[in-house]
Homo-oligomer: A and B are copies of this chain.
């Protein structure tokens, strides 16, 4: 298995990517990692280079603020686009990037290519849940104006992912909606509901309200990219705001500081639970190859986790399984 890492992508690049690559290569001897990026910058970071880590030079970088489609079209020698080309041409089995999210989705569509039979690929991160199991939510930003049949495809490919990568025999699929009853929602969810109900091969558990997502009421959460983005960013924003408030409250006096010191391990553990970095990368599902998006603020550990995820998906034949289910090929 060969995994290409966009070494120049992410806020902490290239250091985090090199660190994660080295840790992953040391842990799993059945993978080869190709760090794609500027040789001159990567060389000095690779003082010890294990035999299953190589560098592929790419002279250009797509910045985090660049307009995605323009950047991908123009910067053919950027680390992200080169990694995508490696996947398309079979030189790598998967690619991982923590760079510009829009550009990565564009690279997925234009460079790696859509899977036959899939209208819209979906970005599918894990959202942490209280029971520590997590829910795979899709789409979270690849497709802003989804149609009911897109949501049905998300249900199918999300179920295959949870089954193949996480070993869940019969993943429960929920539709993100404003009420539990079947008739609730906007035009999109009202039309998608009967499609999901009729879909063979998935275990549809009905509508799921946003406030019940964290209690783990489903394994796959289906939504359009706009609603999904609102859900995920509200979750991040609320968790962040509450930690700020806790910090502020707990540093009010000597007494509260003492209380907070006693509870420090528990507060850290809570923060870990609400932390996206620990939940690895988000696959872009529905492409003809495996693409995993890391969080922009990924550190070495997050990059290593993304490699772990890609390795499991490759070992489980994720992409061919989805393709077989979607187009019968």
| A256 x B262 contact (CB < 8 A) | yes
Per-position binary interface string of chain A over residues 236-274, scored 1 when its CB falls under 8 Å from any chain B CB and 0 otherwise: 111111101110011010011011111100110110011
Contact of A178 among B144, B178, B215, B249 (CB under 8 A): B144
| A230 x B233 contact (CB < 8 A) | no
> With A211-B233, A262-B258 in contact, do A269 and B249 touch (Cβ < 8 Å)?
yes
For residue A229, CB closer than 8 A to chain B, the reply is: yes
Chain A 86-102 residues near chain B, CB threshold 8 A = none
| B210 x A229 contact (CB < 8 A) | yes
Give the distance in Å from the alpha carbon of A273 to the alpha carbon of B249 in the complex.
12
> With A227-B230, A230-B210, A234-B235 in contact, do A242 and B240 touch (Cβ < 8 Å)?
no
The residues of B that contact A144 with a CB separation of less than 8 Å are 178, 185-187
| B263 x A259 contact (CB < 8 A) | yes
| A266 x B250 contact (CB < 8 A) | yes
The residues of B that contact A238 with a CB separation of less than 8 Å are 214, 234-235, 238-239, 242
For residue A122, CB closer than 8 A to chain B, the reply is: no
For residue A213, CB closer than 8 A to chain B, the reply is: yes
Give the distance in Å from the alpha carbon of A215 to the alpha carbon of B245 in the complex.
11
| A242 x B210 contact (CB < 8 A) | no
Give the distance in Å from the alpha carbon of A4 to the alpha carbon of B253 in the complex.
46
Number of copies: 2
| A186 x B226 contact (CB < 8 A) | yes
| A178 x B234 contact (CB < 8 A) | no
The residues of B that contact A252 with a CB separation of less than 8 Å are 266
The residues of B that contact A145 with a CB separation of less than 8 Å are 186-187
Nearest-CB distance from A95 to chain B (Å)? 24
For residue A105, CB closer than 8 A to chain B, the reply is: no
Chain A 171-211 residues near chain B, CB threshold 8 A = 176, 178, 185-187, 189, 209-211
| A130 x B230 contact (CB < 8 A) | no
| A214 x B237 contact (CB < 8 A) | yes
Give the distance in Å from the alpha carbon of A245 to the alpha carbon of B266 in the complex.
10
The residues of B that contact A255 with a CB separation of less than 8 Å are 262
Chain A 135-194 residues near chain B, CB threshold 8 A = 141, 144-145, 176, 178, 185-187, 189
Top 9 nearest A-B pairs (CB, nearest first) are: A211-B237, A259-B262, A210-B233, A249-B266, A234-B234, A238-B238, A144-B186, A259-B263, A211-B233
18 A-B pairs whose Cβ atoms sit less than 8 Å apart in the complex: A130-B244, A145-B186, A186-B224, A189-B226, A210-B229, A210-B230, A211-B240, A213-B234, A213-B237, A230-B231, A231-B234, A238-B242, A245-B273, A249-B263, A249-B269, A259-B261, A260-B263, A262-B262
Beyond A130-B244, A144-B186, A260-B263, 9 additional contacts (C-beta under 8 Å) are: A130-B241, A144-B187, A178-B230, A211-B234, A214-B237, A235-B238, A238-B239, A238-B242, A259-B262
